[in-house]
Amino acid sequence: MAARLVFATRPSALARWQTRWVISALQAAHPGLECEERVITTQGDKILDKPLPEIGGKGLFTLELESELLAGSVQCAVHSLKDLPVENPAGLTLGCIPARAEVRDVLISREGFTLASLPAGALVGTSSPRRAAQIRAARPDVKTASLRGNVDTRLRKALSEQYDAIILAGAGLTRLGLAEHVTEWLELDVMLPAPGQGALAVQCRADDPETLARLAALEDPATRRAVTAERAFLLGLGGGCSVPVAAYARVQPLTGDLHLDGLAADPHGDQVIRVSGTGADALELGQRLSLAALVRGAVDFLGLR
């Protein structure tokens, strides 16, 4: 019997694209491998009229997929790593993290506004406390409002008169062939990305050695190290999607060490704490910089006292 993997996937166009990309890459690495998609609608896909922090956070997009994995009805689930909670449920692991794509966020405006040229009082749509805080820090005179839905839905809202601009992850737009709608790519000193942004993760059971062996073909060690540092930083600052935290790490080509930039902000963007550092150990680096952010005052507005 031919080897076969069943993938759980959410129904959005981006989730399907990401799952099919992983399947294609795996089949190229393992000729003869049969793969099947099983579409699962999560609570996060169903509840679109409330901000994520109000309805349970990132886990609402993963719980049903993880239940199918643990039950053994599927072998894999592909996630945008930035949307995956920092702690895996018992029995599950990240089988592989492929090479990372674009990490920057983008601004989309039907009027062609950039962040600098948005008029005072403009309304910017985003469902992310991280993005909202950094927007308010850069432009205290603009307003932000919740923006939920998949990429297609958010893009449609951006092109209506509901918002003057919206902020999205550039990786999703690029993957879906929608980068033509980007008005401005936001540089990292203006909008530091979410931990894990631009990276995919394939989740599987920890006790499934055959699947783990197949997924190893897609593993990118440099991306794994970088996102491990970023997610350790996030975990040290509370770990939830209601926390305005950003982080971006990359491997230094000459030394092989990691350099991590981290950010924690109060929800209104009035106080933004930036930290940076270098180290060889990803977990230690993320933990060290999260502690540095707490010592510098992040503990006061992240509710960790």
Residues classed as catalytic? 83
Amino acid at 90: A
Question: How many CB atoms neighbour CB 171 within 10 A?
Answer: 24
Contacts of 217 (CB under 8 A, 6+ apart): 25, 26, 29, 30, 96
> What distance in Å separates the CA atoms of residue 223 and residue 225, rounded to the nearest whole number?
5
Selection from 216, 112, 234 nearest residue 164 by Cα: 112
Contacts of 29 (CB under 8 A, 6+ apart): 214, 217, 218
Contacts of 290 (CB under 8 A, 6+ apart): 232, 233, 234, 235, 236, 237, 262
Place of tokens 């809202």: 157
- Cross-strand bridge partners of residue 139: none
Q: How many CA atoms lie within 13 A of 233 on its CB side?
A: 36
> What distance in Å separates the CA atoms of residue 4 and residue 10, rounded to the nearest whole number?
20
Contacts of 187 (CB under 8 A, 6+ apart): 104
Helix 221-236 with 282-293: angle, nearest 10 deg: 30
Contacts of 156 (CB under 8 A, 6+ apart): none
